[in-house]
Amino acid sequence: MFEQASLPRVAVSVDVVGFRLQSGEAGLELQVLLVRRLPPPFAWQWALPGGVLGADERLAACACRLLRERTGGAEFYLEQLYTFDALDRDPRGRTLSVAYYALLRGDAGEAPAERDAADARWWPVRRLPAGGMLAFDHAQVIRAAHERLRGKLDYAPLAFHLLPATFTMTQLRRVYEAIQERSYDPTNFPRAMLARFPGLAPVVGERDRTSKRPARVYRYEAPPA
């Protein structure tokens, strides 16, 4: 009854910045998932996983779908980042990009059900391919996602999504040190975390025995609303 006759419509795509942490040359490094484009425009260049929004598809669902195609069944945290709208961001014509960012566990995408197989790779954020010359405005999108992650890390429970369900305080501290690019006092850090995040609590019986002295193991459970 309210059908729109001929409103101007624009193409809308969704792009996902998938982050994970992996041990690189100098300790943990933040990595982002990129895929090599096959069709033009920007053929053979690296780009974020992206695609066109389905007519009856939710934005977040679309982002989930795009990311799962590249990482298999891994779980992740997903959040809307920003809507990019430069007129010339896609040479094919006006295309809005609603960007999301995702946080995955460090081992995610290792044995991926990657339909597109070898043309998906994790890249260190500090060393993007071709000096950061990515397709579309994706270098800018990654910068924005990185800034958002850094800004929210201190007050939002984001770091836990980059770790397994249970973890030691040292592991958690390494996550913060890798993303904020500074060091934290190992003795004060646990106190600060426990004070800031009520959902963070030690798992009673369990201990981590990978280092000399067995370390306490923690779990984060999101508090009810």
Partner DNA sequence: CCAAAAGTGTTATGCTTACACCCATGC
Partner DNA sequence: GCATGGGTGTAAGCATAACACTTTTGG
> Which residues are at the interface with DNA (CB under 7 A)?
168-170, 185-188, 190-192, 195, 209, 211-216
Q: Please, what is the minimum distance in Å from the beta carbon of residue 183 to its own copies?
A: 24
- The only residue of 64, 78, 96, 194 in contact with its own copies, by rule CB under 8 A: 96
Q: CB-based contacts of 98: which residues, under 8 Å, 6+ apart?
A: 12, 13, 14, 15, 53, 59, 80, 83
The helix (run of H) or strand (run of E) holding residue 50 is strand 50-52
Concatenating the DSSP letter of every residue in 98-128 gives EEEEEEE-TTTTSS---TTGGGEEEEETTS-
11 is an interface residue for its own copies by CB under 8 A: yes
Question: DSSP 3-state assignment of 144?
Answer: helix
- Rounded least distance, CB 114 to DNA, Å: 34
Please give the helix or strand (H or E) that residue 143 lies within, else none.
Answer: helix 138-153
Residues across the chain = 225
Q: Is 9 in the site for its own copies (CB under 8 A)?
A: yes
Which of DNA, its own copies, none has residue 10 at its interface (CB below 5 to 8 Å by kind)?
Answer: its own copies
**Is residue 156 involved in binding its own copies (CB under 8 A)?**
no
* Closer Cβ to its own copies, 8 or 224, answer by number: 8
Q: Does 59 bind its own copies (CB under 8 A)?
A: yes
Q: Judged by CB, which is closer to its own copies: 79, or 206?
A: 79
How is 149-202 classified by DSSP, letter by letter?
HHHHHTTSS-GGGGS-SEE-HHHHHHHHHHHHTS---TTHHHHHHHHH-TTEEE
64 binds, among its own copies, DNA, none (CB under 5 to 8 A by kind): none
Closest CA to 175 of 28, 19, 18: 28
- Size, binding site for its own copies by CB under 8 A: 31
| Contacts with its own copies, residue ranges (CB under 8 A) | 1-4, 7-12, 40-41, 52-56, 58-59, 80, 82-83, 85-87, 91-94, 96, 98
